[in-house]
Chain A
Amino acid sequence: MSNAKERKHAKKMRNQPTNVTLSSGFGADKGVKHHNEPHPGTSRQWQTRVNPHSLPDPDVNEQSSSKMMFRKKGGWKAGPEGTSQEIPKYITASTFAQARAAEISAMLKAVTQKSSNSLVFQTLPRHMRRRAMSHNVKRLPRRLQEIAQKEAEKTVHQKKEHSKNKCHKARRCHMNRTLEFNRRQKKNIWLETHIWHAKRFHMVKKWGYCLGERPTVKSHRACYRAMTNRCLLQDLSYYCCLELKGKEEEILKALSEMCSIDTGLTFAAVHCLSGKRQGSLVLYRANKYPREMLGPVTFIWKSQRTPGDTSESRQLWIWLHPTLKQVGENTEETPHRWWIETCKNPDSVSLHYRQEAVFELLGGITSPAEIPAGTILGLTVGDPRINLPPKKSKALPNPEKCQDNEKVRQLLLEGVPVECTHSFIWNQDICKSVTENKILDQDLNRMRSELLVPGSQLILGPHESKIPILLIQQPGKVTGEDRLGWGSGWDVLLPKGWGMAFWIPFIYRGARVGGLKESAVHSQYKRSPSVPGDFPDCPAGMLFAEEQAKNLLEKYKRRPPAKRPNYVKLGTLAPFFCPWEQLTQDWELRGQAHEEPPVASSPNGKENDLRRSEMPCALMPKKTPQPSDKVGTSIDYPREAEEVMDAGCQEPVGPESITDQEASENHVAATGSQLCVLRSRKLLKQLSAWCGPSSEDNRAAWRAPGRAQQGLTREACLSILCHFPRALVWVSLSLLSKGSPEPHTMICVPTKEDFLQLRKDWHYCGPQESKHSDPFKSKILKQKEKKKREKRQKLGHTSSDGLAGEEPVAGQEALTLGLWSGPLPRVTLHCSRTLLGFVTQGDFSMAVGCGEALGFVSLTGLLDVLSSQPAAQRGLVLLRPPASLQYRFARIAIEV
């Protein structure tokens, strides 16, 4: 029984009479002592009160009376002399009466006094209870009023001090409210639309902001429909903007160290530099490519007034996810926290009209995906609150309105002209004045109520604010072959303070609002990595993974052991995180063990050998094999280690490969055991061509016409592996038949038997993992028993428990039933199918109609698998969720 429960029970039994036995209270005074008296004080009092009466009675008298009693009762014989001391010799009427009286008093106390844990109000029968009794004592029956009064006083003390120093009306007053709101957002900044969101969303505190995670209404499917056909709206103002000002060359020079042309276009891309388009890239720590990734960013240049004038100072905005902010600020040279600001009075009217014309044309386009990716359009618009529709309605595209097909076609081909990308939002002073001169909602409503005809359009004339905004096209899905342009849309940049003014009209025009979860779904359907969960090589991504693992573990531990999956038995080593480091290390060792002996036909150089052999040796201590339960793996270890040593004494063919290897060695030596994610577009394209089954090879070749299509040869693999010994590749997987993967699902390599089965029967679901044994269970049981024994010992003699008590506690922390404890054994070989990678996002995809997953696989493993698989079935892998034994077939694809 717990302590609180005991206390409660004791309180309940406080007034109840306890058992009275002769043996317990005997000898103190003959039968007068009453154990049923709750307060020893009162019983003593009572005894003293009795004694004076019995003292004056002469002893003889008492004895005689007792003798009389014997006779009356009849036949009571005194026992032997020994026992006569223990038992009362005789019973007198007075003692008999006293016992009765004591019992009566005890019973009376039990009956009359309330001893239950309930309040007075609850002891009343239901039909006598009235609501007003809860706060007005005088409404209670008079016999209970006193107790109720006492109770009420007690609860007043217990109640937390209310912050009701002000009345409700004062608290609702605008001044006090803003003060209170400012106090509440000291720790986590609120977005402008926070209050709107807080009423409709589950809010989370993330990255120093209060963000809406998901709507409280059931809207998963509705949000998907909004993504595909209509409009899904999101407040992204938590993204950070860095403004760089200066000479174009200087900025470019500073930033060129942080990005690589391998990963795609850099800051210096022609379209972006002119200010026509938005660009996106991946930042690395200066000169550290391909390792030490910082994070993905998007950027826009301010368009030049006079093209060709390079001396003019330029403005560059870089948009970052808030998790990357810390890192970003440390490395930038001129960081300016940029806040969206305002402006007034558009001067160049002609430009304004041209921008307006372009915007009109946009209405004729069925999907934003049709115009070039990242197009920027600057506009100056009126106050959206004035022409708010009277009723919530859906804005539908109206193709008939735009008959001007010629112009539309031109727009699609060339994009928005450079002049039209200009917006006053770049000018801080103008932005500030727009923010300051915003008409309050209150004033607008007052003016509306003063209108002559209620409900008619409010015309402010020159007083209406003019707001400079910037529209940026988001390309949606650009990679892969199917559903190109899915999920495309527009980013709207507004001056500070105008968030809510635009937010409500958007919603009145039929936009659906999504939260963080919806954005995750969007990026998953787009098959693009989401920030920061899908960047395991950047610090933000590692932090995110750690936090996620902690949360999942906590959630797992909340369930009783019988109601949660035993991951040890399921053969899942890491159900809550993805051990990328270990995975890549394992594959690196395997790769060296498997691939190099066949190449070792021509032993040329000897001077490199030593160096080569040093590396695996240096790595080996980290990989000290854990005593695993499987005999097979433990035997594997020494042999493989030897093979590695052997392999070190060999050298691949050709002079280029030697230099390659030397370079890679230097690379590896420099960066140590750090893993990286492969982002070189050239290599990714090559890989994606290899991934598909041979029938698709033609198309893949067509997609990369410039380069001679390399075959999937060992030399090609090796040359890649030399550069990236521990790399991960971002892959997308689509399931062949059933199954919907979840995060942390394992990507495994199918065996030859699996392929045979699949060829026989196309509806073959997939193999099953056999159940593993749980070596920790007995340990946990033993520990429990030990603990119990010790506890009993402790109860026996409370002291003398110093070190022995602490030891099991320390052990207990490490062991949780159903989780692998201690360092992980070889992750790749733990199950019957070799592990290749992990899924980071996965769900049933409503866009495709089957289960889809996104994740990372080891580059070494992928090449190994691809080269060993037959051409017809290349790119097939197995997926197994952490809480299941069933493997499912999936097709792997790398989208560039």
Chain B
Amino acid sequence: MVRFKHRYLLCELVSDDSRCRLSLDDRVLSSLVRDTISRVHGTFGAAACSIGFAVRYLNAYTGIVLLRCRKEFYQLVWSALPFITYLENKGHRYPCFFNTLHVGGTIRTCQKFLIQYNRRQLLILLQNCTDEGEREAIQKSVTRSCLLEEEEESSEEAAEAME
């Protein structure tokens, strides 16, 4: 089938200021990226990237952001991301920066990558953790995330049995 091909940029917003995360919003984010592109690549770049540009997923707790753009111009967006140094919202400026984790052709591949990435992060956190209580909590969440698949299946089966 004929379709518009896209590129999905999976990024991580890193900020020390927690108020930055508070004000994180897809509208704020998209305007931020757009402004940066027009600043870096000019009017042409802004116009080229504005078609099909969207924020597909955003998680304020983890700072994960999924951006979509057309395949032809994804490099313009990609190259503009490092120039974002602060997030501006309601007159406040919060310093932050973007980490591009993955560039994928579909949302699905990005999601798959994100799962792997988060698991890795949790393991690293577990290894570095020194506190006992923390360690326990982290271990819990790690096992939960790993077992989740099976759990869901079992719950589904239960639901089917109910039917």
Contact = CB atoms under 8 A, between A and B. Distances in A.
Q: Taking chain A's interface residues, is the majority helix, strand, or loop, or is none over half, making it mixed?
A: helix
Interface stretch (B32-40, B78-86, B97-105, B137-145): B137-145
B44 to A, nearest CB: 30
Nearest to B148: A105
Given A92-B134, A97-B125, A111-B108, A104 B18 contact: no
A111 B115 contact: yes
Contacts of B129: 93
B28 to A, nearest CB: 10
A83 B22 CA distance: 11
Given A87-B18, A111-B115, A68 B131 contact: yes
Contacts of A104: 114-115, 118-119, 145, 148
A32 to B, nearest CB: 9
Interface string A39-60: 0001000000010011001000
Residue of A22, A23, A54, A68 with most chain B CB atoms under a 10 A cut-off: A22
B62 A101 contact: no
A104 B125 CA distance: 15
Contacts of A702: none
Contacts, number: 127
Contacts of B142: 97, 101
Contacts of B108: 110-111
A94 B55 CA distance: 28
Interface in A18-50: 19-23, 26, 31, 36, 42, 50
A39 to B, nearest CB: 10
Interface residues of B, number: 44
Interface in B112-163: 112, 114-115, 118-119, 121-122, 125, 129, 131, 133-134, 136-138, 140-142, 144-145, 148-149, 152, 155
A76 interface: yes
Contacts of B152: 108-109
A67 to B, nearest CB: 11
B121 A100 contact: yes
Contacts of B149: 108, 112
Residue of B24, B60, B64 with most chain A CB atoms under a 10 A cut-off: B60
A143 to B, nearest CB: 12
Contact of B59 (A62, A76, A99): A99
A621 interface: no
B133 A19 contact: no
B72 interface: no
Given A62-B133, A109-B152, A93 B138 contact: yes
A386 interface: no
A68 to B, nearest CB: 7
B43 interface: no
A19 B26 contact: yes
B19 interface: yes
Contacts of B18: 76, 87-88, 91
Given A22-B21, A65-B134, A103 B58 contact: no
A79 interface: yes
Contacts of B121: 100
Contact of B57 (A17, A68, A92): A17
A669 B119 CA distance: 99
Contact of A108 (B16, B62, B115, B155): B115
B24 A103 contact: no
A86 interface: yes
B61 A20 contact: yes
A462 interface: no
Given A104-B145, A109-B152, A99 B61 contact: yes
A98 interface: yes
A93 B115 CA distance: 19
Contacts of A75: 16
A764 B141 CA distance: 92
A75 B21 CA distance: 16
A61 interface: yes
Contacts of A74: 16
27 contacts: A19-B57, A19-B58, A20-B58, A20-B60, A21-B58, A26-B22, A53-B136, A54-B137, A79-B19, A87-B18, A94-B133, A96-B125, A99-B62, A101-B142, A103-B59, A103-B61, A103-B64, A103-B114, A103-B118, A104-B114, A104-B115, A104-B118, A104-B145, A107-B115, A108-B145, A108-B149, A110-B107
Given A21-B26, A107-B115, A109-B152, 18 more contacts: A19-B26, A19-B55, A20-B58, A36-B59, A53-B136, A79-B19, A87-B18, A93-B125, A93-B138, A96-B125, A97-B137, A97-B142, A100-B122, A101-B118, A103-B59, A103-B61, A111-B115, A112-B149
Ranked 7 nearest A-B pairs via Cβ? A94-B137, A101-B141, A99-B61, A104-B145, A101-B145, A97-B141, A97-B138
